[in-house]
Amino acid sequence: MSDRRMPVPDRLDRRLAERIEGTVVGRGAPDYEARRTGLVWNGRPAPNCPDLIVRPDSVEDVRVAIAFAREHGLCVDMRGSGHSYSGIFLHDGGMLLDLSALDDIVPDPKAQTVSVGPGATAGRIDAALAPHGLAFPVGHGAQVGIAGFLLGGGIGINGGAWGGMSCHNILAADLVMADGRLVRASPDENADLFRALRGGGPGLPFAVVRFTLRCFRRPAHIGLVNHFVRFSRLPDLTQAIEGSTHRLDPRLQLMLAIVPAPAGLAPRLQEGDHGRVGALTAIAFADDANEAALLQAALDGAPALQAALHREAIDPADFADIFAMTDMALTAPRVRADNIFTDRLGDAVATIMRHLPAAPSPACIPLIVRRNAPALRPDAAFSIRGRFSVSTYAQSERACEDAPTAAWLHRLYDDLLPIASGSYVNEVDLEGRRDALDRCHSDAVREDLAAIRERHDPRRLFRRLAA
């Protein structure tokens, strides 16, 4: 591991600080370690130490910083809001561009678009759009940053009705290239870069400094219902979900979390439930309460739901209620995640049920999201099919628990891989299994992204991820 106290060669931090309005912190600075560890949201920062941590205040700052890195032979990494399960933006040496200060949000109600900086977060974007009657399929947590979310594809709120993957709603983006140029990427300008930023994931050959996004009319009514089902009844529940998928309206979003039983339900569990329940959340995005109820009714006849331990409704609900559910699921500070996409929900749940009793902590929580997956698009790098996203958030309290937690998570996903159609790059364990990147894009897209990197960044200024 690098010596975090090592000063930056030739005091590059001071030299760059004289050229930009933002902040520059180099190794050896008194606040370096606090700044370094504070960059990682989940409380499990990697041990790696960049030479420079640069927080630009403007697009011009970004251009100057990238020119400085090129001048001094520094590899460049980037982070947006830092809401990442793996701190893969932390590397030894080089420059880390922290783009979190570029977080302005400018709605255009007439055009039904919003312009956002890469550091803007889901909660702030939604709050800015709501007064205009607009919405965007942001991430399910209020602190999810827009840049990493969109660059990885983005499984967003009401995504089934709003474009499939959130990256499909990127209309244009402003990019700073390795040579310092500020360029526009859109269907008509730099189409290869536009395709890459729609789901290409980390390690792209540019810094995004602004997105222009398509917005949608905000639902007049959101109905949210939670059904709590015994762990032992999960096979019945998944059979019902699979059997009804073809007739569910895309405006009904389904999420199944397998969680420790709430205190009020725990006494009703049996030995085979292992202290857990399946919490099926059905969210209807509708025009009024009656329409929301009709959307929900498509599930009501399922025997597994009729036998549910408990049913609770938030009606009407709002995006804030969805954000709060995410916050409640993340109960421990140290988080590691992994993911597959699959069409075989029953097999996935059966595998999870075999592994969960041996989980190192009750805070290891699988989450399954039903995707209304549209046809893959040639104008987007996102290229993985699968009707269900299966993620697991393996959480721990202390550093000494990290290794057994990671080992358990890897065993689970080793068993899930045979039924996987691919993985969601934002929720695979790239920190522990760098080769997982290969299952996040099709072969053709991987080749295309490699060619784009070579074409636009042949000297490899921007760091690339490799297995």
Q: Does the pLDDT at position 396 exceed 50?
A: yes
Least Cα distance to 321 among 121, 162, 157 occurs for 157
Contacts of 30 (CB under 8 A, 6+ apart): none
Which of 365-374, 443-452, 456-465 comes out lowest in average pLDDT? Answer: 365-374
Burial readout 204-222 (b: 16 or more C-beta within 10 A, e: otherwise): bbbbbbbbbbbbbebbebb
Where does the pLDDT of residue 1 fall: very low under 50, low under 70, confident under 90, or very high at 90 and above?
very low
The class of domain 105-217 in CATH terms is alpha beta
Least Cα distance to 134 among 104, 154, 116, 113 occurs for 113
Considering the four listed CATH numbers 3.30.43.10, 3.40.190.10, 1.10.10.10, 3.40.640.10, the one that applies to the domain covering 9-101 is 3.30.43.10
CATH of domain 221-440: 3.40.462.20
Mean of the pLDDT values across residues 55-66? 98
Chain segment 314-332, per-residue pLDDT in tens: 999 999 999 999 988 888 8
Chain segment 332-345, per-residue pLDDT in tens: 899 999 999 999 99
> Rounded to whole angstroms, how far apart are CA atoms 465 and 372?
30
Tell me the β-bridge partners of 314: 224
Tell me the β-bridge partners of 259: 277
As given in the structure block, the two tokens for residue 155 are 């499984």
Mean of the pLDDT values across residues 23-34? 93
Chain segment 267-314, per-residue pLDDT in tens: 999 999 999 999 999 999 999 999 999 999 988 778 889 889 999 999
221-440 shares the fold of 105-217: no
Mean of the pLDDT values across residues 199-216? 97
Per cent of the chain over pLDDT 70 is: 97
- 307 alpha-carbon distance from chain centroid: 33
The residue ranges of every structural domain in the chain are 9-101, 105-217, 221-440
Q: Does the pLDDT at position 373 exceed 80?
A: no
Where does the pLDDT of residue 244 fall: very low under 50, low under 70, confident under 90, or very high at 90 and above?
confident
Mean of the pLDDT values across residues 59-87? 93
Which of 3-17, 96-110, 390-404 comes out lowest in average pLDDT? Answer: 3-17
Give the pLDDT score at 466: 60
Give the pLDDT score at 467: 43
Give the pLDDT score at 10: 67
Q: Which residue has the tokens 């997105």?
A: 211
